[in-house]
Amino acid sequence: MGDVHIAAGAGFSNDRRELGEIAAQSLTLFEGHRYLIFECLAERTLALAQGEDGQRRQVERAIGYLEACINTCILNNIRIISNFGGSAPKQVAEAIAGFLKQHNLRRRIGYVLGDELPVKDTEHDGRAISRNAYIGAHGIVEALDAGADIVVTGRVADPSLVVGAVAFEHELRWIDWNRLAQATLAGHLIECGTQVCGGYFADTGAKQVPGLTRLGAPVASVARGHDRLKISKPLGGGLLTTATVTEQLLYEIHDPARYLTPDVVMDISGVAMQQTGRNEVTLTGCVGHARPDWLKTLTCVDEGWIGEAEISYMGDTSLDRAQMARTILTQRLENIAPSAAPHFDIIGAMYDEANNAGHPRDVRLRMAVASNDREQVRALLDEVEALYLNGPAGGGGIRLNISARTATVAGTVRQNEAVSRGHLLEDTP
């Protein structure tokens, strides 16, 4: 025994809230150590989490996830690990403590710090918003070791959420490269939630997926002491087959022999898998190599604004009229703002137009522009709105949207410059 079972209750910041409860219910079917993870951070989530509004949203999200599943977790002794701490793990941990207290629930709450790096005023002309290192599982193990039932992290590498649980329960040393790689593989496969068990997979023909309206959650079962890893989907819709697992195995992978994480370099080039049950796949052959002595960093940089505007055309000549409208906009923007470099798509004919094929009867012209000057963006979008009266015949359904543009710039720091450390909240029960 001694298997560690980890289920995923979210694969991105705004995933279905019910998935956490399905994941927790799934875990009750397993004997051993049980963990629930929520993976909530993408490349720019941390930039969006800055400021008061961003902070409030990330607290609301964390509590939203917990509300849906906390009772099942407490009743069944399921620990929770999540990076929903975002840009402020300690503050989110405190908010969770408040929420639990309000409901007379007792859980010990830990948090992990160390990913946040100082931003220099001189960086990126003073436009840098945040800088974080992708830290490893070390702080999660420290928090669990201190007795935490819920561990709140910021920017730990996605698979490290699972590595933390496995390293703690199996008492891994930080040089057990093959074991760390196996745990990383488990994390990699379930960190996108349903993407491994029928989500993001359905198509016609051989790719039909049952139960798409209520997909189940994946569970990774990590055996102690050898390289067997089981992935299963016990409850809910969807399916888990060697095909769904292979798609997720290669998702966001570059060189399969060198997947770099802060904990280990994972090598999946020799992985083999077998369907070992209905909705159950067993993987073997994952190996690990010494972790890099540096960590990846991501700096979020304010890049002004993106404006998008769209207008629809219908009928046999819809493509011709969308092209006319595009010509009008191109010429007008050349006069008003020669450096604007607008981007155009004709939705409904994007590839047909390039290949001179097809005959769409319903298209939508989209223009996108970017600038540091919000007023300038607004003025350029107004040009699309003016097509109502001044453009080709039969244009309608105009929508305008302006959103902040945040670039992410990758860099590196040495491992000792951003150390993953776990803490226990002070007034925790």
Give the footprint of another protein on this chain (CB under 8 A): 43-44, 200-201, 203, 205-207, 243, 246-256, 268-273, 285, 303, 306, 343, 345, 347, 350-351, 354, 366, 368-370, 405-408, 410
Closer of 65 and 201 to another protein (Cβ): 201
H or E stretch covering 398 = strand 396-414
Rounded CA-CA distance 349/4 in Å is 49
Helices (DSSP H) in 9-149: which residue ranges?
A: 18-27, 45-48, 51-75, 89-102, 138-145
Rounded CA-CA distance 241/238 in Å is 10
Task: Name the minimum Å distance from CB 273 to another protein.
Answer: 7
Task: Name the minimum Å distance from CB 28 to another protein.
Answer: 31
Closer of 99 and 200 to another protein (Cβ): 200
Rounded CA-CA distance 389/207 in Å is 46
Burial-class residue 99 by CB neighbours within 10 Å (0-12, 13-18, 19+).
Answer: middle
Q: Per 3-state DSSP, what percentage of the chain is helix, strand, and coil (rounded to 5)?
A: 35, 30, 35
Task: Name the minimum Å distance from CB 277 to another protein.
Answer: 19
The tokens describing 405, both together, are 């543009």
Contact between 4 and 35 under an 8 Å Cβ cutoff? The reply is yes
Task: Name the minimum Å distance from CB 88 to another protein.
Answer: 21
Task: Name the minimum Å distance from CB 244 to another protein.
Answer: 9
> Using CA atoms in the order 76, 172, 86, 247, what is the torsion angle rounded to 10 degrees?
-90
Give the rounded distance of the alpha carbon of 28 from its chain centre. 26
Contact between 328 and 268 under an 8 Å Cβ cutoff? The reply is no
Closer of 29 and 243 to another protein (Cβ): 243
The tokens describing 45, both together, are 């989530």
Question: Could you tell me which of 139, 75, 136, 71 has the C-alpha nearest to residue 110?
Answer: 139
Task: Name the minimum Å distance from CB 32 to another protein.
Answer: 28
Task: Name the minimum Å distance from CB 250 to another protein.
Answer: 4
